Structure 1
Amino acid sequence: MKLTVPARLAAASLAAVALAGCSYVNPITTHKNYSASDGTQLVVGDVSALNLIVLTAAEGSPATLIGTLVNDTDEDIAVEVSIDGETSTSLTVEADSTLKLGPQDGDAEVSGSATAAPGSIVVVGFTANLSEVDSVDVPVLDGTLPEYADTLAAIG
């Protein structure tokens, strides 16, 4: 059976529409930003706060915020960070760089006393360049997961 040119064009068009329908019905999710780890994330102005976790042994014990702040701009950005409205910490994220948060050497430490027990959620507030303000719910974890045991031991 030999198909005519119009029949071939019609078949090719139908195949193209059928194959393209998958992305129409199911949105492409790889273009959406998401937290791929235990923490949460937030974008405040030109600063991205990634993989945010509050780490503590127990409610009322010393706690620290771990995560990463990213500045993709050409200028330094001043950032204020507070955990559950407690004392805020002033940081500077240099132009086109990242700033690791945590208690390890070389990290910027945002610490205080845990206002919630591990397994709970606390609100972490961010202010960038004194004008962009936002907050995010951040999970409170302890050293139960082996990947956080060493970091928890460094809190002091």
Structure 2
Amino acid sequence: MKSIVSAGTAAVAALVLAGCSYVNPITTQQNYSASDGVQLIADDFEAFNLIVVSTGEGEPGALIGRVYNDTDEEMEFEISFDAETSTTVPVPARSSVELTPLDGVEVPGTSPVMPGLLTEVGFATGANAFYTVQAPVMDGTLSEYQPIVEALD
């Protein structure tokens, strides 16, 4: 009798616990930024870990991150974070380009806000498409951004 009650309790517990995953979304399947930066996912390209690095408002800055072209043809992006200057970045088909003043493509500008705040980063493509994302502005407080701040001088 004891084993029948235990088996019944186990069956009920299994049904109840199985129902939890049915009504709750699986969070590991949701897209999110797993770093300091933000991401932009469009129909034909993706931009990952976007961060503006600068020492202060009105000071020189640079956008860092990575842009991936998900098409069969080269794409050109006009990228800006200060609404005054833009940089043309060509990205080959099915490839990515690293945005950094160190060993990649530099996207310079002037930080419109102080570190710790968000600024709008714009991506324009040749197909009259324009995308924006709010990216954080970071300074050299964290050691991983110190080389980038030093490269801005």
Interval of TM-score (by shorter of Structure 1 and Structure 2): 0.7 to 0.9
Partner SS state of residue 96, structure 1? coil
Change (3 A) 1:73 1:17: farther
CA contact (8 A) 1:44 1:127 kept: no
Tell me the equivalent position of 2:45.
47
Q: Distance in 2 between matches of 1:57 and 1:48?
A: 27
Residue pairs, 1:1-156, within 5 angstroms: 17-105=15-103, 107-156=104-153
How far does residue 132 in structure 1 lie from its aligned partner after superposition? 2.2
Deviations for 1:123-150, whole angstroms, at most 9, x for unmatched residues?
A: 0011123322110111110000111111
Change (3 A) 1:58 1:140: same
One-letter amino acid matched to 1:126: F
- Structure 1 runs not aligned, ≥5 long: none
How far does residue 36 in structure 1 lie from its aligned partner after superposition? 0.5
**Identical residues among aligned pairs (%):** 50
Q: CA RMSD in A?
A: 2.1
Q: Distance in 1 between matches of 2:18 and 2:69?
A: 37
Q: How many residues align?
A: 148
CA contact (8 A) 2:80 2:109 kept: no
Q: Distance in 1 between matches of 2:64 and 2:46?
A: 14
Q: Distance in 2 between matches of 1:16 and 1:86?
A: 60
Q: Distance in 2 between matches of 1:117 and 1:33?
A: 28
CA contact (8 A) 2:82 2:110 kept: no
Deviations for 1:45-92, whole angstroms, at most 9, x for unmatched residues?
A: 311011100001111211000000012322211111111322121111
Return the TM-score normalized by structure 1: 0.84
Q: Distance in 1 between matches of 2:100 and 2:122?
A: 16
Q: Distance in 2 between matches of 1:110 and 1:56?
A: 12
Moved over 4 A (4+): 14-17
Return the TM-score normalized by structure 2: 0.86
